[in-house]
Amino acid sequence: MIQVILGSKGTGKTKLLLDMTNNALKAEHGKGNIIFIDDDTRYMYDLRHEIRFVDASNYTAARKCTTDAFLAFVSGMLAADFDITMIAIDAFLKLVVTPMAEMESFFTELEKLADEHNCNFVLSISAPAEEVPEFIRRYAISGEAQA
């Protein structure tokens, strides 16, 4: 499953993503591994210590990259650990340089990965819902996205 938290800067997307990630750990009861990817270490200590925090700025393949490179980065994680049940990605548009209008194939491939690996993906995208293409909006879960 893919979920996208949409909203303008300062609307609480990261807080919601952190809460969802920490709550997923409680719900899993140690049955799976959870990864949180961000563009820096700012929120590392807001997560439970059992959650694997990944600072994407440390990896060339995951910073300021295309959606294809980012998909390969995430696929590598799933290939290395069959027990990943959730990957949360904060500040997605800071990590990839591909324009949103050209991301449809990325979301199609991400959905395939989610299904094949039984892994939930939750992304935060800093943009008002009305500026986001429909193929992304259909995954929206935040209040602003429902407007």
The proportion of the chain whose per-residue pLDDT surpasses 70, expressed as a percent, equals: 93
Split at pLDDT 50, 70, 90, the class of 54 is very high
Q: What is the mean pLDDT of the chain?
A: 91
What mean pLDDT do residues 44-52 have? 92
pLDDT for the residue 62:
67
Number of domains in the chain: 1
**pLDDT number for residue 59:** 82
SS3 state at 35: strand
Q: Count CB-CB contacts under 10 A for residue 41.
A: 11
- 19 in Cβ contact with 13 (< 8 Å): no
The predicted pLDDT at position 61 comes to 65
Domain hosting residue 140, numbered range: 2-146
CA distance 45 to 38: 12
pLDDT of residue 45: 83
Mean pLDDT of 120-140: 95
> CATH no. for residue 115?
3.40.50.300
* 127: phi then psi, degrees, rounded to nearest 5: -165, 145
Provide the pairing of β-strand 33-38 with 52-55: parallel
Q: Which two tokens stand for residue 45?
A: 């200590």
DSSP for 36-104 reads EEESSSTTGGGS-TTSEEEEGGG-GGGSSB-HHHHHHHHHHHHHH-TTEEEEEESSHHHHB-S-GGG-H
pLDDT of residue 145: 40
Is the pLDDT score of 80 beyond 60?
A: yes
